[in-house]
Amino acid sequence: MIQIMLVDDHTMVRDALQSVLEQDKGFKVVATVGDGETALRLAGELLPDVVVMDVALPGISGIETARRLRAKHPEIKVLALSTYLDRRIVQQMLDVGARGYIVKSAAGSELKRGILSLMDGASYLCPQVTALVTDSLRNRRSRSADPDENPLSRRELQVATLLADGKTAPYIAAELHISPSTVDVHRRNLMRKLQLHNVVELTKYAIRTGLILP
């Protein structure tokens, strides 16, 4: 039996997903939680096979939660579930270790398929995401250079998320186990890549792309 944890800040969504999954005797939802910190704690206690992770969560984002979860428990598979159909968000979730990405509008028909694919050792993108990625690759040469074509590294993404959440450079340095000067380097690089000028603009970007909640 596949053991699953559902992470979403909306109770109705969690209940609906649990109902869909538990119609199949091969799936068991071992926990439903609404924030990243609780998800990390319970994942360490319950060690589910798959964590279905929303991207936008209160507190730490689903992207950062997925990164921390995979760092501590690489055996746990993460399947991203989100309202965001945005290539940057998809790429960021995959970069931190998610093995699949499903948009919520397709969750009813795609969720079981995605979980089974991950358990078989494969990755899984729902058709809408696959089409998005394919269109992006097809059009890449015809588009002028923009921030989307210069994606953030995993570390820059971590720094961006924490900065946008109001954390100071010393706090970020301690959290990521790097020096404050290295934080400043990453901050300069991500600002340049995103063509932003200050933390206010960075915060707006983070809200728009789902790194943090407004």
CA distance linking residue 197 with residue 59, whole number of Å: 24
- At position 26, the amino acid (one-letter code) is G
Boundaries of every domain in the chain: 2-138, 147-209
CATH 1.10.10.10 fits 147-209, yes or no: yes
- Options 3.40.50.2300, 3.40.50.280, 3.40.50.2020, 3.30.365.10; CATH for 2-138 is 3.40.50.2300
pLDDT, tens only, 54-71? 998 888 889 999 999 999
Distance CA 54, CA 34 (A): 9
Q: Which residues contact 181 (CB under 8 A, 6 or more apart)?
A: none
For tokens 């538990």, what's the residue? 22
| pLDDT tens digit sequence for 1-60 | 999 999 999 999 999 999 999 998 899 999 999 999 999 999 999 999 999 999 988 888
> What DSSP designation does 106 have?
G
Strand runs labelled E in 26-179: 27-33, 50-54, 77-82, 100-103, 124-125
79 pairs with which residues across the strands?
A: 52, 100
CA distances from 72 to 35, 63, 117 (A): 17, 15, 22
Query: What's phi and psi for 58, nearest 5 deg?
Result: -70, 145
51 beta partners? 5, 78
Beta bridge partners of 101: 80, 125
Q: pTM higher than 0.75, yes or no?
A: no
Per-residue model confidence (pLDDT) at position 212: 61
Tell me the pLDDT tens digit for each residue of 127-182. Answer: 888 777 665 444 443 444 444 445 677 788 888 888 887 888 899 999 888 999 99
CATH topology of 2-138 equal to that of 147-209? no
CA angle 189, 193, 195 (to 5 degrees): 110
Give the number of other CB atoms < 10 A from CB of residue 207: 14
